[in-house]
Structure 1
Amino acid sequence: MPCRRPRPIVDRSGLIIGCIVAPPDSPSYGRDAEELLDIFVEESESDAFSSGELRHKRGDFPAVNFGWTLPSGFQHPINLSDSRHRAKIDRICKSSGFRQISGVQNGAFAFWNPGVYDYQKKRVEQVLAEKSDRPPLRRTTPKTAFPTTACNFRRVCCCPHRDTQNCPFGWCAITALGKFDHRRGGHLILWELKLVIEFPHGYTILIPSATVTHLNTPVADAEIRMSMTQYCAGSVLRYADNLGSTDKNLWHKNKALYGQNQADRDERWRMSLGLLSTVDDLEKGRRGRSIAAMFQ
């Protein structure tokens, strides 16, 4: 059984590049997660899924994305909206389980990766506050740092993939939901890291999904395993850095800022590494609380 205490995933230099978080030790969380699972099971029977939602690069299972993002070819961020799934999305977002899990995902992100969390949250808030003629962007929860949520239905078994449209140094938050034997199936595999991680119902794992190839093992035929993820496209952060423009539009409007941003990107990898923390960094940043004790 995975440890009930949170566990960081660290590289050889000690940088925290992901984390594993057990469900909060709260009866209400357990009940709410079960309620959300029941909603997922009921909504997964819908026949409204398109062929693209049923079969995609992550696997052969229904997936619905909602919230807001900046898709390729668009001039500004948009709400992800599909009338076929409006009732389904509203039901999920109004559930206590969705709000609780979103809170755990955001809290773990802020705690284990405060530099990247602050970097992302600042830019997400900047885009949300932008004065524009476009329709207001809809958050999935009031304080989330993630613009977009994906709900993966039925018997989710992801193929090996990287989410290359996401911020390369950002984290994707994944929470497993289901009724399955986590010792026999549903493991999360982080390919380049050579890690195979037990991933029970209600647990949350955060990983840099754009840079690490990941997949999960299947569960037994009589079992179900679904998931809820939150993520941020890299285009959203670039749009914020461009002060409300795509790269192409910024080149026409402000060549000086465009040139500066392009020059900055040559060093972006160094900046992004500087945002990551070690356990020692977190220890020094917390007064009167021993983070190291959480791993014992």
Structure 2
Amino acid sequence: MRRLIRTGMQEDNHTFEDGMGGRIYTEEEIQELTGEDSMRYINWLGVLSIPIIDTHGRIIAVLGGTPRDVEGWRAITNRAATLMETKATHGGGQTEPCELKNNKSNTQVTDELLADESFQHIIRFSNLLFRIFAPMLFLYYQMNMELLRNWNPSLVWNVAFTVFATCTFNFGPHALTIPHLDFGNLAWGWCVITALGHFNPDRGGHLILWNLKLVI
């Protein structure tokens, strides 16, 4: 799976090369994908929760949507996005956005983000969706987290109420993934992707599931 996201206010149609084989697709190229490569375009407005089901009737992914209070959720995600913009610009003493590592300064930044109520709302909602749409897998995560806690009580968790052991913050203005395999991940496991920031979703911020031939 490859995730291609253009964040911020940049809506030009240039192609961005990241030096690792990844790239950002223009709006026109996205349209060509859905026409020439038998890719299906899902015009998702980001409100409803929509499961993606394979040929065996199994839910393999979910477009999460929002809680019922859409305006309240917008305020929460706007606060989270603004907080990330602030931390990306000033966190750790750097003068420009850069790749974060687990040094002391950046650990402080991520701790502050995770402690903010906006991110805690997002984490709780993500766990709720996981429990609803994949209850057995959620239980498997929950059991293994408890085993880890018992095995090593000194482990420090990002937040106490999530079944996900790790998290990553990708700071803009460009964030994308390239094709890769992470052998440290559970092969049949799920993760949560949340796109924050102010951008036109028709021109950027797409999620492309290459194996499923879906453009969202």
User: TM-score under structure 1 normalisation?
Assistant: 0.52
5+ unaligned residues in a row in structure 2: which ranges?
1-42
Matched, 1:19 2:40: no
Q: Highest CA radius of gyration, 1 or 2? A: 1
Amino acid paired to 1:2: W
Structure 2 residue aligned with 1:108, among 126, 129, 137?
A: 129
- 1:139 CA drift (Å): 2.1
Which moved further from structure 2: 22-31 or 150-159? Answer: 22-31
Matched, 1:138 2:156: yes
Residue 8 of structure 1 aligns to a residue whose secondary structure is strand
Residue 108 of structure 2 aligns to a residue whose secondary structure is helix
User: Kindly tell me: are residues 117 and 192 of structure 1, through their superposed partners in 2, closer, same or farther at Cα, counting changes over 3 Å?
Assistant: same
Amino acid paired to 1:173: V
Amino acid paired to 1:111: I
**Equivalent position of 1:30 in the other structure:** 74
- The answer as to whether partners of 1:120 and 1:145 remain within 8 angstroms in 2 is yes
Residue 192 of structure 2 aligns to a residue whose secondary structure is strand
**Equivalent position of 2:177 in the other structure:** 158
Higher RCO, 1 vs 2 (CA within 8 Å, ≥6 residues apart): 2
Structure 1 ranges of 4+ moved more than 4 A: 46-50
**Equivalent position of 1:261 in the other structure:** none
- The answer as to whether partners of 1:29 and 1:97 remain within 8 angstroms in 2 is no
Structure 1 residue aligned with 2:166, among 127, 130, 148?
A: 148
**Equivalent position of 2:44 in the other structure:** 2
Q: Which has more strand, going by share of residues?
A: 1
User: TM-score under structure 2 normalisation?
Assistant: 0.71
Query: What is the aligned residue count?
Result: 169
Amino acid paired to 2:163: A
Residue 119 of structure 1 aligns to a residue whose secondary structure is helix
Q: RMSD of the TM alignment (CA)?
A: 2.3
Residue deviations 1:33-52, cap 9 Å, x none?
A: 111111111111247599xx
**Equivalent position of 2:139 in the other structure:** 118
Which moved further from structure 2: 22-31 or 113-122? Answer: 22-31
- 1:90 CA drift (Å): 2.3
- The answer as to whether partners of 1:44 and 1:153 remain within 8 angstroms in 2 is yes
